[in-house]
C-alpha cells in the first residue's frame, strides 16, 4: 500500500496512531466528511506505526506522511517514544505531528513540545466528533508552508 501523491492542496495525507477504535473512526469520519484527507492510514500503536513507515513486517513502505495524529497512551510503544523515534529518522524528522490524548499531565505536554510537536490536543477539547481537531489541523495546513 502506498500513499498517492497529493493531488490537491485541499487534501492531506495523515498517519493516525490511535488504539481506541471509536476515537479512530470519529477522526477518520470528520476528515472524510470535510473532504480534507486524501488518505488516512491507521496504526494501533507505535510499533505498528514504525513498521508502516519503515516498510517492515511484510509491509510496503509508505511515502512520507504529510501529517501525524498521535495518541500518547498506546500499547507496546507510547506516543512519546514513537515521536522520539520519528524525530531520530532523517527523512521524517520534519514531519508535522499533533498529539491527540486524554493526558493533561504537565510532564507529558512538556515532553511532547520538547520533541517539537505542532500541537498538544486534549480529546475532551477536540469537540463533538473531533470537529475542533479537524478545524485546527485544516487551518494549520492552509496557513503553514510545509516542506
Q: Indicate the pTM of the whole model.
A: 0.84
pLDDT value for 81? 97
Q: Three-state secondary structure along the chain?
A: CCCCCCCCCCCEEEEEECCCHHHHHHHHHHHHHCCCEEEEEEECCHHHHHHHHHCCCCCCCCCCCCEEEECCCCCCCCHHHHHHHHHHCCCCCCCEEEEEECCCCHHHHHHHHHCCCCEEEEHHHCCHHHHHHHHHHHHHHHHCCCC
Is residue 1 one of the residues assigned to a domain?
no
For residue 107, being part of any structural domain is answered with no
Position 90 in a domain: yes
Return the pLDDT at 58.
67
Q: What is the pLDDT of residue 83?
A: 97
- Total domains present in the chain: 1
β-partners of residue 97 are 68
Q: Does some domain include residue 137? A: no
The parent domain of residue 47 ranges over 37-65+80-99+115-123
Q: Is residue 13 part of a domain?
A: no
Query: Is the residue at 7 inside a domain?
Result: no
What per-residue confidence (pLDDT) applies to 66?
76
Residue 5: inside a domain: no
Q: Is residue 58 part of a domain?
A: yes
The pLDDT value given to residue 4: 39
Q: 4: which 3 cell numbers?
A: 498517492
Closest among 2, 7, 23, 9 to 145, alpha carbons compared: 9
What does pLDDT average to in each consecutive run of 10 residues of the chain (147 residues)? 41 86 90 74 92 74 75 95 94 88 94 95 79 80 70
- C-alpha 63/C-alpha 55 separation (Å) is 10
Quick one: pLDDT at residue 40? Answer: 85
Cβ neighbours of residue 132 under 8 Å, at least 6 residues apart? 125, 126
Amino acid at each position: 500500500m502506498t500513499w498517492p501523491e497529493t493531488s490537491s492542496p485541499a487534501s492531506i495525507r495523515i498517519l493516525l496512531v490511535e488504539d481506541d477504535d471509536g476515537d479512530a473512526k470519529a477522526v477518520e469520519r470528520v476528515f472524510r466528511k470535510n473532504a480534507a484527507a486524501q488518505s488516512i492510514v491507521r496504526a494501533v500503536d507505535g510499533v505498528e506505526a514504525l513498521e508502516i513507515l519503515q516498510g517492515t513486517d511484510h509491509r510496503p513502505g509508505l511515502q512520507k506522511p504529510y501529517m501525524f495524529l498521535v495518541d500518547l497512551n498506546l500499547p507496546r510503544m507510547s506516543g512519546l517514544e514513537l515521536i522520539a523515534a520519528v524525530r531520530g529518522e532523517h527523512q521524517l524528522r520534519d514531519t508535522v505531528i499533533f498529539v491527540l490524548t486524554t493526558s493533561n499531565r504537565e510532564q507529558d505536554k512538556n515532553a511532547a513540545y520538547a520533541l517539537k510537536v505542532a500541537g498538544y490536543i486534549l480529546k475532551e477539547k477536540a469537540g463533538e466528533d473531533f470537529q475542533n481537531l479537524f478545524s485546527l489541523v485544516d487551518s494549520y495546513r492552509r496557513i503553514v508552508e510545509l516542506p
